[in-house]
Chains A and B, each alone.
Chain A
């Protein structure tokens, strides 16, 4: 176990709805990254938060937004859900400095989102 937890485990939504996914980082980690993993594909980077500020973003539209709290836990919000948003959403926590990407990222078990 990595110490990174995510909730909920599974979620079913319909098109147009909004969803919030949650991630608790490993103790001592100040950085959280979010990834989308479609079936049979590798994870795609959504964005990263370092000490409550966004620290990099992948090629995802603005309806994907995030937040990091003072305890370094994080949320991923997706508005106006589309069928293609169906995927496993992974968060990963790490410790380090802004812009540094040599730290090991510890992944949570993921949230399986299904959009009908």
Chain B
């Protein structure tokens, strides 16, 4: 069964600190992996998208890594800001398919 598991479920960090969010997936055959940021009550916003051949991609203070062999990805946030407080969702799509498989997300709270 195609699944995407994220950890931790929630995380609280101090402003200015770094953090890393994890994503494990069992989707096969794999096409690409995306990280989205979703503010409460809003639609998700794309942060990164990586295909099989890419193992790292950055978007400002966000850096995503992908290990297609172990089927793991991480999202590293550097120098966190209060505005980083949101849910971060890992999304995987299979080859030759239109469906995106979403994880349940990690809720990040950045406090001052």
Residues of A at under 8 Å CB distance from B? Answer: 2, 4, 33, 35, 40-45, 48, 55-56, 58, 88, 90, 92, 99, 101-102, 104-110, 112
Contacts and interface: CB of A to CB of B under 8 A. Distances in A.
B107 to A, nearest CB: 9
Interface of B is mostly: strand
B59 to A, nearest CB: 12
B98 A56 contact: yes
Interface string B3-33: 0100000000000000000000000000110
B99 A107 contact: no
Contact of A109 (B31, B43, B96, B105): B43
Contacts of A105: 46, 100
Contacts of A102: 31-32, 49, 51, 93
Interface residues of B, number: 26
Contacts of A4: 43
B43 A110 contact: yes
Nearest to A101: B93
A104 to B, nearest CB: 5
A107 B44 contact: yes
Contact of B102 (A42, A99, A108, A112): A42
Nearest to B104: A42
Given A42-B102, A44-B102, A101 B43 contact: no
A100 B48 CA distance: 17
